[in-house]
Structure 1
Amino acid sequence: MELTPERLVAQLGQGPLRPVYLIAGPETLRVLEAADAVRTRAREQGYAEREVFEPEGRDIDWNALEATLRAPSLFAARRVIEIRLPTTRPGKDGAAAITAFCDAPPDDILLLVTGGEWSRQHGGKWSEAIGRVGQIAVAWGVKPHEMPDWIERRLRSRGVSADRNAVQRLADRVEGNLLAAAQEIDKLALLAEGATLDTARMEDLVADAARFDVFRLVDAALSGQAAQAVRMLAGLRAEGEAVPALMGMVVMELQRAAALARVQARGGNLAAEFRAQRVWDSKQAVYTRALQRHPAPRWEQFLAAAGRIDRIAKGRAPGDAWQALERLLVAVAEPRAARVMG
C-alpha cells in the first residue's frame, strides 16, 4: 500500500521496522524528512552501521551493492544499506538486485531506497517486491489548496499556534515552496514566544518572501525553474540590489557545480566530491538534477559567462548586466536555452 511520507513516519514507532523502504517523489523536503525518520528509528533499533550507494558517473555499482548485501558486517550486527536514485529508475541490474533482496531479506539489513521522481512508469516488479515485504511512501507535491493545512500541522509540531488568517498569509508568502515554509516555521518556533500568532504578528515575524534572496535565486536556476528564477531576479532588482552583490554567490554555486560535473564526467566518486564541496544532503538532489541537464563543458561555459557579467556590472565590459545575468540563469535552468547567452 502506498503511504504518504507523514503516514510512514507515524507508523515507524508502531512496531519493528520492515526490511525495506522506498521513499520517492518530487517534493524533496518530504522525501528527506521521511528518510531521516527511518534512519533515526533504525539507530534506535540497533542498526549501527550505514552504507550509501548512489550514482558515480552514470549508474550505481550494482555488483558492489550485491557484494555488500552478501558480506557480513565488520563493525555492527545490524546495518542500513541506502540506495539513492535521483530518477528513481534502478535499471535492469538494479531492479534485479532489489528484487533478489526482497525475495529473501536478511535479518540484519534494512534497505532504504530514495528517489527524486515518481510516476506509474517508474514502478515495476522491483517496486512491487518492495511493497510485498516493506513499505512505499510517495512524496507528491503539496497542492496550493493543501498548503495552509500542511503549514498548520508543521506549526503545531514545532509548538507554534496561529490563527487561520495568519496561516494563510504565510502560505501566500512562500508561494508553494515547502523548504521556504519549513525555514520560516523554524524561525517562528524561536520567535513566537508561546503566543498565538495573528496576521499582524505573522507579518512582523516572517521575512517577506517577495524579497527573493540570492540563495533561492540560484536554487531556482539549479532546480530547472527558469520562470521562477527570472521572477526572483526581477524582485531583487526592484528591491534595489546591485548585480555585483549577487555575483559572488552565483559564481560560487557555478564553481561547485562545475567541480561536481568534472568528477562525474571522469567517473569519479560523486559522493566524496559532495562531501569535499560541503554540499548538505538536503541540497544534493538539486545538484544531481542540474548535472543531468548539462555536460561538464557546459558548466565551464557558465562560469566564463558569469565572469563576463561581473566585468559588465563593474563597468569593465560593454553590455546590460541584468539582462546577461537573466540569460545565464535561464541557460542553467533550461537545456534548450543553450544559445541564449550569445
Structure 2
Amino acid sequence: MEMPPDKLVAQLAANPPASLYLIAGPEALLVIEAADAVRKAARQAGSTERVIFEVTAADTNKAKDTNSVWSEIEAALNAPSLFSPCRLIEIRLPTGRPGTEGGKFLERIAKQPPRGDIVMVLADEWSKKHEGNWSRAFEANGVVSVAWAKKPGDLPAWLGQRLRSRGLQLDTDAIRVIADRVDGNLLAAAQEVDKLCLLLGTTDTTLNAEQIRALVADLARFDVFRLLEAAWNGQGAQTLRMLEGLRQEGEVIPALMGMVIIELKITAALSAAAGSGSLDRAFSERRVWPAKQAMYRRALERHGYRRWQRFLVEAGKVDRASKGREVGDAWVHLQRLLVAIAAPGGIGLLRSEIAAA
C-alpha cells in the first residue's frame, strides 16, 4: 500500500510494523521522521539488531556478484541472527535508482519478504520516473511512503497540524508569519515549532501574529548553517537576506569564516572525487549523510574543482580583511563570495567585483 509519511507515523504508533518499507522523497524531515517511526516500531516488535547497507553509484552499475552490495545484503538476509529474533535491514539508496541487477534483487525481496525481519529502503531522490517493478512490488507487498516536496501553499496547513499535535493553537496570521520566515524549509519550520513548545508549553490561548513575531527568531536571517545551505543550494537572493540579517544582529566575520572555510574545503574535496568518479565513496569517507548530499550535488553541478579552489582563496582574503590584514570591507567581500557560490556563472562576478572593491 502507499501512504503519506504522516499517516505512516500515525499507523505505526498503533500497529505492529510491516515486513517491507520504501520511504523516499526530497523532504528530508518527513523521510527522517517516517524512518524513525519504523525503527521505533521494530524495537517494540522485539528487534535489537539493525543492519545498514549503503548503496553507491558503483553498486547500481555493477552486475550481481560476490563483490556487490546486493550479494552482501542477500547473505545477511539468509544468515540467521545470533542476537535478535527480528532484525531491521536498512538499505540506503540515495539516488532512488538501484540499477538493473539491484532492481531485480529488490523485486525478489518484495515478492518473498524475509521471514521475521523488516526491510526498509530509504531514498533521497524520488519522482514518477524512479518507479519500476521493484517499487511496485514493495507497494503490493509492503508500504511505500513518498515525502513529496511541499508546495508553498501547503506549508501553513502542515504547520498548523504540527502545532496542534503539540498542544499549541495559533491563528491563521500567526501561522503565516512562521511560514514566511522559514522560506519553505520544513526542518527550520519543525525547529520553530519545537522552540515554541519549549517557550510556551501547552496553552489554551490562541496566539496571534504579533505575539509570534515577538517570540520567533527569524531563522531565515540569523542562522549561519542555513546561510551556507542557501548559498550551496544556489539561492542567491535568500543568501543575501540571511547575511544581512546576521550583520544586523551583530555577528562578526571571523565567527562566520570558520564554517565557510570548512564547507569550502569539503566541497573542493568532493569536487575532486566527482572528477575521478568516486563521489559516493567521498561522501562516505567524509561522513556526509544522505540528507545533506543533495545540497553538495547541486553545488558541484554549478562549479568545477578549479572554481572551488578559487573560492577557498577568496575566503582567505575575506578572513584577512576581517582582521585588518587585507584591503576592503570584509562584509562586502563575503557577500560577493557567497553570491558567486550560489550563481552558476558566479566566478565572473567574483573576479570583477571583488577586484574592484
TM band (smaller chain)? 0.7 to 0.9
Could you say what the CA RMSD is over the residues aligned between the two structures, in angstroms?
3.0
Query: For 2:294 and 2:76, how far apart are their aligned partners in 1?
Result: 24
Matches within 5 A, 1:249-288: 249-257=259-267, 265=278, 268=281, 270-271=283-284, 273-274=286-287, 284-287=290-293
- Residues 95 and 36 from structure 1, CA distance in 2 versus in 1: closer, same or farther, beyond 3 angstroms? same
Aligned twin of 1:78: 86
Cα distance per residue 1:53-100 (max 9 Å; x no partner): 224574463332232222222322211111222221222222122112
Shift of 1:217: 0.3
Change (3 A) 1:65 1:306: farther
- Per the normalisation by structure 2, the TM-score is 0.81
Confirm whether residue 3 of structure 1 aligns to residue 3 of structure 2: yes
1:317 aligns with 2:317: no
One of 189, 196, 204 as aligned partner of 1:188: 196
| Structure 1 counterpart SS, 2:82 | coil
Residues 81-92 of structure 1 correspond to what in structure 2 (within 5 A)?
Answer: 81-92=89-100
Match of 2:161 among 147, 153, 168: 153
Q: Which amino acid letter does the alignment assign opposite residue 314 of structure 2?
A: A
Structure 2 distance, partners of 1:75, 1:259, is 39
1:246 aligns with 2:246: no
What is the CA distance between 1:44 and its match in structure 2?
0.7
Residue type of the alignment partner of 1:18: A
The 10-residue stretch of structure 1 (252-261 or 144-153) with the greater mean CA deviation from structure 2: 252-261
- Structure 1 residues 7 and 321: alpha-carbon distance in aligned structure 2, compared to 1, 3 A threshold: same
Gap change, CA 1:226 and 1:192, over 3 Å in 2: same
Distance 2:87 2:212 in 1: 44
Q: Computing the radius of gyration over CA atoms, which structure comes out larger, 1 or 2?
A: 2
Inter-CA distance 97–222: structure 2 relative to 1 (3 Å threshold): farther
Give distance in 2, aligned partners of 1:74 and 1:296.
47
- The reply on whether 1:132 has 2:108 as its aligned counterpart is no
Q: How does 1:70-219 map to 2 (within 5 A)?
A: 70-195=78-203, 196=205, 197-209=207-219, 211-219=221-229
Shift of 1:288: 5.1
C-alpha distance 333-41 of structure 1, shift in aligned 2 (>3 A): farther
Q: For 1:157 and 1:332, how far apart are their aligned partners in 2?
A: 39
- Local SS of the residue matching 1:47: coil
Counterpart residue number, 2:72: 64
Other structure's SS at 1:51 match: strand
* Structure 1 CA distance for aligned equivalents of residues 102 and 298 of structure 2: 19
Q: CA deviation at 1:203?
A: 2.1
Cα drift, residue 125 of structure 1: 1.0
1:211-230 to structure 2, matched below 5 A, reads: 211-230=221-240
Query: Comparing 293-302 with 222-231, which one deviates more in the overlay?
Result: 293-302
| Residue in 1 that maps onto 2:296 | 290
5+ long unaligned stretches in structure 2: 61-68, 352-357
**1:23 aligns to what?**
23
User: In structure 2, how many angstroms separate the alpha carbons of the residues matched to 1:335 and 1:92?
Assistant: 33
User: Shift of residue 30 of structure 1?
Assistant: 0.8
Higher relative contact order (CA 8 A, sep 6+): 1
Q: Say which is worse superposed, 285-294 or 141-150, in terms of deviation.
A: 285-294
Q: 1:304 maps to which residue?
A: 313
Q: State the shift of 1:200 in Å.
A: 2.9
Q: Unaligned 5+ residue runs, structure 1?
A: none
Task: Looking at secondary structure, tell me which structure has more helix per residue.
Answer: 2
What is the percent sequence identity of the aligned residues?
Answer: 49
Conserved 8 A contact 2:27-2:147:
yes
Name the counterpart of 1:41. 41
Preserved CA contact (<8 Å) 1:57 1:270: no
